[in-house]
Structure 1
Amino acid sequence: MNKFKYLSKQLIKPSLLFVALFLALLPSCETVPETNRTQLILLDQRTEFSMGTKAYKDILKKSKISPDKRAIKIIRRVGRRIAKVVNRPQYKWEFNLVENKTPNAYCLPGGKVGVHTGILPIAKNEAGLAAVIGHEIAHAVARHGAERMSQSIIVAIAGEVLAQGLTRNEADRQAMRAAYGIGSAVAITLPFSRNHELEADYLGILYMARAGYDPREAKKFWQRFSRWGKKEKKSSDFDFLSTHPANKKRIAQIDDMLVRAMAEYNRSAKIGAGEKLKAGRY
């Protein structure tokens, strides 16, 4: 009975702290362009850009820039076309091709874009590349990185408040912190990450369509990427602890996104699939 009374009293403390924290964080809510989703951002954009620039410089120091002038020219052409329709003058756009066989690309805060040579055969053409670059730029424009950092901060604070409020025993507190850390990762942080991927797909397809690239090529790209994954035995069809949506789900949802994207494409100065890249059997 005494333990129940203690627990009841202690629950009041974290509850009040959560209310105070919620009220304090209300001014930090922002809205994602196009989707109008509300997000919590605790990081100011200047700090975010500074972190992005530093990370980009560190990556380039450890990487080899590709000597393929033709591919670099295409990447920068596609990137600049997308950057133009995104219309973020505060971003200092850079586009580089990095020698790396792993098919990947990224856009760091502030507009620093890196494309791996390994993704070129899968992209196949300018439009496929536009799907990749548009997707990565969408992550940056929607401030997904800053949002995930903000979520991590909130999760850490919440875990500590619960640990301090619900038990007096330090060993129990440590166990609670560990348990809450695992639970929160599965229930809070990772589902947002999967949502980020789908949101970036949607925004990226709109960007490529407005830039004049056929958005139907985005679906073809993800189909090729899925085949690459199966060939390399890197399946992403398991959709629980993955930070990315399974490819089957992603491809199916792209069909829904194409309705608006095609309307945007039809209003653009159409480029279609654009110039071909390196051939790949995907």
Structure 2
Amino acid sequence: MFKKIMFLMAFGILVYSCAKVPMSGRNQLALIDNAELLPLAFVEYEKVLKEGKVVTNTADGQMVVKVGKRVSAAVEKYMKANGLESELQGFSWEFNLIEEAVVNAWCMPGGKVAFYTGIIPVCQDEAGIAVVMGHEVAHALANHGRERMSNGMLMNGVLGSAQVAMGQNPTLMQNLFLQAFGVGGQLGMLSFSRKHELEADQLGLNFMALAGYDPRVAPAFWERMEAAGSGGAPPEFLSTHPGPKRRAAELNKQMVIAMEYYEQSKK
């Protein structure tokens, strides 16, 4: 009888805890609300900034901020025009550059973005930064972090998941957050799955185009990223990710749609 009750509880959670990814329409698990997730993300983001050397006031740092503002503004405009503005509830955009010789960047849930100085040479210019920015913002808009944390809640067990969902076990929720994002003593965040990475590539391509950046530069960025790791271990940004050649091929498949967004941005 107990097992049957547990099964029914699990089934109920799965049925009533589904969401859709904006723009792609993919169904995803959402066992936690952003109202609970975002405050945790904002606290961890501040910890990273305090522990690292923030160089946002440099020329490169200001370029990251400029691109971030353009991309986030374009995303907000698109979401509002398509009746999706509720997806941005609780977002508080912030863009920072951290001095660290690592080829990486990431975005916390709620729009908290961090670039590392090691990725700037690979980006080369503002358009290259827009490729990465669109990709990272897409992770946040697609709620990939929430989905990963929700999967962790299921693995933790139905009762624990129910406690977190009802706000009855804040310690468990904090631990699940750290497990999902890899923050707290680690550089940046854990890599997302290949499925999430390819989805972020696709959405990010559209986001940079909406912001007025030519999406055709994106495949060349991934070629440079591959070259950056040719001397040994791949850059952190590519760890467990789809190969650059596959990413470039998938981006080219999406280029017609992205170019339509790019042309619209000029009007």
Work out whether the TM-score is over 0.5. Answer: yes
Of stretches 111-120 and 61-70 in structure 1, the one that deviates more from structure 2 is 61-70
Letter in 1 for 2:118: G
Q: Give the CA deviation at 1:235.
A: 7.8
Contact map agreement 2:103 2:235 (CA 8 A) in 1? no
Letter in 1 for 2:241: H
SS at match of 2:12: helix
Contact map agreement 1:72 1:96 (CA 8 A) in 2? yes
The alignment status of 1:98 with 2:98, answered yes or no, reads: yes
SS at match of 1:115: strand
SS at match of 1:100: coil
SS at match of 1:267: helix
SS at match of 1:61: helix
SS at match of 2:71: helix
Gap change, CA 1:131 and 1:235, over 3 Å in 2: closer
| In 2, Cα distance between equivalents of 1:245 and 1:15 | 40
In structure 1, runs of 5+ residues without a counterpart are 1-11, 161-189, 271-282
| In 2, Cα distance between equivalents of 1:233 and 1:147 | 29
Q: Which has the larger radius of gyration?
A: 1
In structure 2, runs of 5+ residues without a counterpart are 77-87, 161-189
Letter in 2 for 1:104: N
Paired position in structure 2 for 1:107 = 107
Map 1:5-44 → 2, pairs under 5 A = 14=3, 17-44=6-33
Paired position in structure 2 for 1:45 = 34
> Which of 234, 238, 245 matches 2:242?
245
| In 2, Cα distance between equivalents of 1:112 and 1:235 | 22
Gap change, CA 1:15 and 1:128, over 3 Å in 2: farther
Q: Give the CA deviation at 1:38.
A: 0.7
SS at match of 1:140: helix
| In 1, Cα distance between equivalents of 2:144 and 2:106 | 12
| In 2, Cα distance between equivalents of 1:19 and 1:226 | 47
Q: Give the CA deviation at 1:247.
A: 2.0
Gap change, CA 1:67 and 1:81, over 3 Å in 2: closer
SS at match of 1:30: strand
Q: Give the CA deviation at 1:251.
A: 1.7
Paired position in structure 1 for 2:265 = 268
- Give the RMSD, CA atoms, in angstroms: 2.5
Paired position in structure 1 for 2:85 = none
Paired position in structure 1 for 2:131 = 131
The alignment status of 1:259 with 2:248, answered yes or no, reads: no
Q: Give the CA deviation at 1:267.
A: 1.4
| In 1, Cα distance between equivalents of 2:117 and 2:235 | 21
Q: Share of identical aligned residues, percent?
A: 42
| In 1, Cα distance between equivalents of 2:195 and 2:4 | 28
Once the two structures are superposed, what CA deviation does each residue of 1:38-95 show, in whole Å capped at 9, x if it has no partner?
A: 1111111111111110110110111001265211221111000100111136311111
| In 2, Cα distance between equivalents of 1:156 and 1:66 | 39
Contact map agreement 2:56 2:98 (CA 8 A) in 1? no
> Which of 61, 64, 75 matches 2:50?
61
Aligned residue pairs total: 225
| In 2, Cα distance between equivalents of 1:252 and 1:78 | 25
Q: Give the CA deviation at 1:145.
A: 0.6
| In 2, Cα distance between equivalents of 1:152 and 1:65 | 31
Contact map agreement 1:212 1:268 (CA 8 A) in 2? yes
Paired position in structure 1 for 2:234 = 234
| In 2, Cα distance between equivalents of 1:105 and 1:233 | 17
Q: Give the CA deviation at 1:26.
A: 1.6
Paired position in structure 1 for 2:199 = 199
Gap change, CA 1:89 and 1:150, over 3 Å in 2: closer
Of stretches 32-41 and 90-99 in structure 1, the one that deviates more from structure 2 is 90-99
Letter in 2 for 1:38: N
Q: Give the CA deviation at 1:233.
A: 3.5
| In 2, Cα distance between equivalents of 1:229 and 1:28 | 40
